[in-house]
Amino acid sequence: MDHDNRESWLNRVAVGMAPLFDVLDTPLPDRIRVAIGFTSAGRKGKAIGECWDNRLSADGHFEIFIRPDLAHAPDAMPAQIAAILAHELVHAAVGIAAGHGKAFKRIATGLGLIGPMRATTPGEGFLGAVAPILAAAGPLPHARLDTDGETTAPKKQPARMLKCECQACGYTVRTARKWLETAGAPLCPIADHGAMHHDRLDSDEDDTEPEE
């Protein structure tokens, strides 16, 4: 089966995994939504997947996100993403409050995930169980996203250094706006010259384009 988008593929795989949870007497919740996207920590975060409690969803769904910049080889990507999905589905099945404790470990190891429970390592048992599910789901319409390239996000502006000048001798320094706002103008090092003059703090123009 070919899918038009990644979310359709992910949700099809999640449905395919449901019997694996039933065998472990821990059925999946009825309302689960899965998507490719960055976790709450953003692209700078380290989490490869995240499950949000259904009480936080306006329509009562567990919301699962799997980050789009995973660096697995293309032929290994479907199984690795399926393993991450399985990890997050366990959270939904046992409840977010269970963390990675005994209840989580029982289901995760029963599915064939191995190693530390905070990680996601598919064992041979998992790979064997998920193979027919992946075959039925068809090709994964996804490729790794390079997050170092250009986007429409506003570029971070470097801090503007404001010029401060002594009106008596011309001695100049530059300092950041925040120091002028919190500590005031610097003093000229020459005795009795006093506070230095600086550019107006409200002179900057906002040239940032609105986000799309």
Domain with 97 in it: what CATH number?
3.30.2010
Q: Which two tokens stand for residue 149?
A: 């390239």
User: How many domains are contained in the chain?
Assistant: 2
pTM greater than the 0.85 cutoff: no
pLDDT surpasses 60 at 190:
yes
Average pLDDT value for residue range 181-200? 90
pLDDT surpasses 80 at 171:
yes
Strands (E), the chain: 32-36, 49-52, 62-66, 113-114, 121-122, 161-165, 172-176, 197-198
b/e burial code for range 170-185 (CB count within 10 A of at least 16 → b): eeeeebeeeebeeeee
Write out the residue range of the structural domain in which residue 168 sits: 161-198
Among 89, 121, 137, the domain boundary falls at 137
Residue 130 falls inside a structural domain: yes
101 and 17 housed in the same domain: yes
Average pLDDT over the chain, rounded to an integer: 85
35 and 111 housed in the same domain: yes
168 and 132 housed in the same domain: no
127 and 179 housed in the same domain: no
Residue 91 falls inside a structural domain: yes
Residue 142 falls inside a structural domain: no
- pLDDT tens figures, 36-50: 888 777 766 677 889
108 and 187 housed in the same domain: no
Residue 205 falls inside a structural domain: no
| Local confidence band at 54 (pLDDT 50, 70, 90 cut-offs) | very high
Q: Which two tokens stand for residue 179?
A: 């120091």
| Local confidence band at 77 (pLDDT 50, 70, 90 cut-offs) | confident
**Coil, helix or strand at residue 64:** strand
Average pLDDT value for residue range 51-80? 86
Q: Which two tokens stand for residue 146?
A: 């390079």
- Reported for 164-173, long-range contacts at CB under 8 A and 24+ positions apart, including other chains, are 164/196, 164/197, 164/198, 165/196, 165/197, 165/198, 166/190, 166/193, 166/196, 166/197, 167/196, 167/197, 168/193, 168/194, 169/193, 171/196, 172/196
Separation CA 7–CA 9 (nearest Å): 5
Whether the CB-CB separation of 21 and 28 falls below 8 Å is answered with yes
Rg (CA), the chain: 27
112 and 18 housed in the same domain: yes
94 and 33 housed in the same domain: yes
Residue 212 falls inside a structural domain: no
61 and 165 housed in the same domain: no
41: left (phi over 0), alpha (psi -120 to 50) or beta: alpha
